[in-house]
Amino acid sequence: MKKAIGAVVLLSLILAAAYFTNLLNLPGTETAEAAASHAEKLVLTGSSTVAPLAAEIGKRFESQHPNVRIDVQTGGSSRGVNDARSDLADIGMASRALKPEEAELKSYTIALDGISIIVNATNPVTALDKQQIIDVFTGKITNWNALGGNDAPITVVNKAEGRSTLELFLHYFGLNNTDIKAQVVIGDNQQGIKTVAGNPDAIGYVSVGAAEYEAGHAVAIKLLPLDGIAASVENVRNGSFPLSRPLNLVTKTEPSGVAKAFIDFASSYDVNDLIEAQYFVPVAH
């Protein structure tokens, strides 16, 4: 009798195990790990100006599309354009318009930004004209006392090759990168802001949106006006600030599927609050 009861118990355990194994394999009962492994991945690479915004938009997009994962990587606008063209990224990020030689690509503007000259907050200089800025960055003026500032050597902070901020700065001031006499070369906006905030004699240029945000949160920088126009998000918005630029998403061909859904979402009114939170100007109304 005991053997018979034991056999029944054993059989019951086997049947129960089989039942729960089948239950785990039913649709809708996969584990979180399995669900993540099945998620569709969208890779964005490029501009360090666009990247933080794209990451925030990506989080909101993921919350509405649980089967999608957004991977955002920086490296500069040139990387974003080249990666999109070479199929190394689903979407490139560029803080500039496409060049004539890139005209076969597709570009979608999601916001506007400007480029601001920044100095340390303790610097007594409050404005520089266009020629003075050229002379500082080309090494013709090397001491702040020539500009009404302290008797201290100027530390010029320049952007690295491949950064659209550099290209737009050079174009606006009619310079070549070889003309710039820099003591420090940086990559992204945060590096530039950190460098200038940590050096009372430094001068650089970064995103207006990033700079205005950091200056408003007690980071030791200040934005200098350009051509008499204050460097501010509001002046980028109203079109009066002279050194403005589009923030673009770039694809190799007409987007489809998840890429199209993400670009449509990033271009919509639904993300205007995220754009404004990063001190950029929305284009969707």
Tell me if 41-113+246-282 shares its fold with 114-238: yes
Taking the model in full, what pTM does it have? 0.70
**Sequence spans of domains, the chain:** 41-113+246-282, 114-238
Which of 91, 24, 37, 35 is CA-nearest to residue 262?
91
Angle between the N-to-C axes of helices 51-64 and 257-266, in degrees from 0 to 180, rounded to the nearest 10 = 110
Output the tens digit of pLDDT for each of the chain's 285 residues.
Answer: 545 445 444 445 444 444 444 544 445 444 445 445 568 999 999 998 899 999 999 999 999 999 999 999 999 999 999 999 999 999 999 999 999 999 999 999 999 999 999 999 999 999 999 999 999 999 999 999 999 999 999 999 999 987 878 988 999 999 999 999 999 999 888 999 999 999 999 999 999 988 999 999 999 999 999 999 999 999 998 999 999 999 999 999 999 999 999 999 999 999 999 999 888 999 987
Residue (of 12, 53, 6, 204) closest to 118 by Cα position: 204
- In this structure, CATH architecture of domain 114-238: 3-Layer(aba) Sandwich (3.40)
Question: What's the Rg (C-alpha) of the chain?
Answer: 26
Inter-residue contact 173 to 194 (CB < 8 Å): no
Backbone phi, then psi, for 26, in 5-degree steps?
Answer: -70, 150
Q: CATH says 41-113+246-282 is which class?
A: alpha beta
Pair type for strands 184-186 and 155-159? parallel
Question: Under 8 Å CB-to-CB from 242, ≥6 apart: which residues?
Answer: 172, 226, 227, 229
> What gap in Å lies between CA 157 and CA 6, rounded to an integer?
81
Residues 6+ apart with CB under 8 A from 153: 142, 143, 144, 201
Q: Which residues contact 109 (CB under 8 A, 6 or more apart)?
A: 246, 247, 248, 267, 283
Q: What is the pLDDT of residue 188?
A: 86
Which token pair is 216?
Answer: 């408003």
**Inter-CA distances, 44 with 12, 29, 105, 190, 209, Å:** 53, 31, 15, 19, 21
SS3 category, 82: helix
